[in-house]
Each structure stands twice: as structure tokens, then as C-alpha cells.
A = this chain, B = another copy of it.
Amino acid sequence: MDGRPANDPSPWMTFENRRRARDEKREAVLRTAVQLFLEQGYHRATLNEVAERLNITKPALYNYFRSKEDILFECWALGQEQVDGFIAAIDGSQQNGLGKLRALVHSYAETMATDFGASLVRFDPRDLSPSNAKTVRAAKRGIDQTFRRYIAEGIADGSIKPCDPKMAAFAIAGSLNWIGHWYQRGGPLTADAIADDFAERLTEGLATARSNKPRPNKPATKTKKSVVRATTHRKTK
């Protein structure tokens, strides 16, 4: 019933708009920053250049972020959200271990081909405050354990050959993370093609003979986009 006319210029609307505008700018900063950080490396990139690319001035950045490190962390967080999203989706899906692993590899590979995704593996946690660094390391551990968990699940349900989940996870994660270093948008390989290729390539060695029948071309979860961050972006105070 809160029947507010569409053209209501109420202060609230204004407030809403403000918040939205603010969030858009925040994201614009992050998009610019992540790109610059990837391009030049966090230390060589200066806030001045971030600001320049946005046609604003350096201190203006401080309206949206508390520090350079804050920006770095938020970039990372956006990437991590993607990962959290598809992991949640896969966790909730009905597949055997091998299927989940394949889905994970596929989604992770796709993410690695995005700026925020690549930031997950190309940013250095040591550039973060101890507290943020802790968060990052916990998340990294979480990803690793998800890999191991799916592998263990697969071994248990017979879709994956008995093996050491730890080493297998390392090997797979390494291949995937590496994508973040070599993938270039506009290159000969599309993110999708890479994801498809790696989903098969990195898991075929693990699959039991019986599972190794023609698998579905695309994992079911493929289109599920990551569950976004809870609500309004926290101000990371």
C-alpha cells in the first residue's frame, strides 16, 4: 500500500537514488581499480591513476573507501562472492561427487577469466590488513576444502577413483588458478571453451571407469550466477 506515485520526489526517493548512485560509483571504482591492479600490480598502481581513469580526484575515492587497501579487499570480496555463489549452488545440487567436482571446475575456470575472479589469485593477501588477510586466507582454505570435499564425496559414492584428495585438489586448483595469470580477454580462447576443456581435462584422470561415460556437455549449474552479496554493500568501516 505504500502507494507512492512514481514521480514522487520524496526525500526518501532521493535518498534511495542517492544510495543507488553511490553504490554505482563504488562499483565503478572497484571495476577500474581491479583492472588497474591487475594491469600494473597493486604497488605500482596509484590511487591517482585510479582516480584519473574515473575522471575524479584522488581524495574523492575516500568518500567510498577508507584506504587503498580497502579497495583491494573489496575487489577481492567481489570475486569471492562469485565463488561463494556457485559453490552454494553446487552444494545444493543433486549430483555425485564427480559431477560436483566437474561443476566446480567449470565455474571456477569461468570465474578465473573475469577481473574480479583473477584478483582472487593475483592479489597478495600480505597487502591486506591482518584482519582482512585473515578473512582472505579463511576463504582460500574454504575453496581448497570444497575441492577436497567433492573429491572425497566422489570417492565415497564411487564416481571417483580412490586417491589422495589433498594432492588432487592441489593439482586441480593449480591448473585453474593459473588461468587467472594467462587468460586474456579477446585472445584465441573463450572463457567458456576453457571452462569446458578444463572441466573434462582436470577430472578425467579421477573418474572411475563406470562414471566415464559420455558426460553432459554442460554441467547443470552452469547458468546459475553467483548469489550476490547479502544486501547493501557494507561500508567496510
Q: Which residues of A contact B (CB under 8 A)?
A: 40-41, 43-44, 124, 126-127, 164, 167-168, 170-179, 181-182, 194, 197-198, 201-202, 204-205
Contact = CB atoms under 8 A, between A and B. Distances in A.
Contacts of A126: 40-41, 44
The copy count of this chain in the complex is 4
B171 A202 contact: yes
A205 B172 CA distance: 13
Q: Chain A interface mostly helix, strand, loop or mixed?
A: helix
B205 A204 contact: yes
B167 A174 contact: no
Nearest to A193: B167
A198 B182 contact: no
A45 B227 CA distance: 38
Contacts of A168: 201
B197 A201 contact: no
A55 to B, nearest CB: 18
Closest 6 CB pairs of A and B: A174-B178, A174-B175, A205-B205, A43-B43, A171-B175, A174-B174
14 contacts: A40-B126, A41-B126, A41-B127, A44-B127, A168-B201, A170-B179, A171-B175, A171-B201, A174-B174, A174-B175, A174-B179, A177-B178, A177-B181, A205-B205
